[in-house]
Structure 1
Amino acid sequence: MKYNKIEINGTKINWLNIKWLRFMKEDPDNILFKYNFEEDFRKMKVTGSGKRGRPIEKTKELPRKYTGKQPISQAKKKDLLNLCKTKIISSEYHDFYKNLSSSNNVADNLPEPDVEEDDTDSETD
């Protein structure tokens, strides 16, 4: 990245006074910034130096791996709905969990633990 000293409108940028930086996915060539929280965002252009390092490429659009929602296992959905019923999950989220798609063909995949686990519960000792 090239060190920017001037905003898009030609005003000098005071880097030490910037309070807020915003990077927008839709506008990767610019950085928005504010000197205080009450003002509107200002804009600076971001350019590559072209002299050192890797050449800058535009971000490539990655292909979607899935075209629709992925189902969860029946057991997981049952557990989530039980958490809703016991009010551990707030009622405002119940519709989301009730509408999750589930399937008997989906296997629950738990990550491997970092340490050895034994069959006894530590609280019952």
Structure 2
Amino acid sequence: MQKDDFKSTKCLESNITNRKLSVERSKVEWLKIQWILYNKMHPLSMYYKYSNNQDALFTEVIFSKRTSRDPSNFELEVLYPNGKKNNTEKKKDPLCLLEHAPPAYHPFYHALRDSNNEENNLDGDLSDSTFE
């Protein structure tokens, strides 16, 4: 996956309401839901069932705010435009296990960014790197 594949949902989150009641005014028991259905024709609605029974009817919850804009007009921003840095300790774990990984994969693990090495290449181009 590339860094452009990760999108921020902030603009969508600010335009929805977390509903506690369904359209039929019954309480939504979120932990009991077993089947969720989303429909492109109704992007701010969620349909759910409390069972996996094919014959059971779906219940609808609408998440739109009263003054919400059309969700198809939202442009999702890239979540980490400069890539995401890992904690230095998290980077140490796979580096300690490099002896068990094929040498062809070593450059990938060495190129992982952490909070100490700002200069690491984000695009994965390791041609100028000198790794053992």
TM-score normalized with structure 1 length: 0.40
Normalized per residue, the structure richer in helix is 2
Look at both structures and tell me which one has the larger radius of gyration over its CA atoms.
1
TM-score normalized with structure 2 length: 0.38
State the structure with bigger RCO (CA 8 A, min sep 6), 1 or 2. Answer: 2
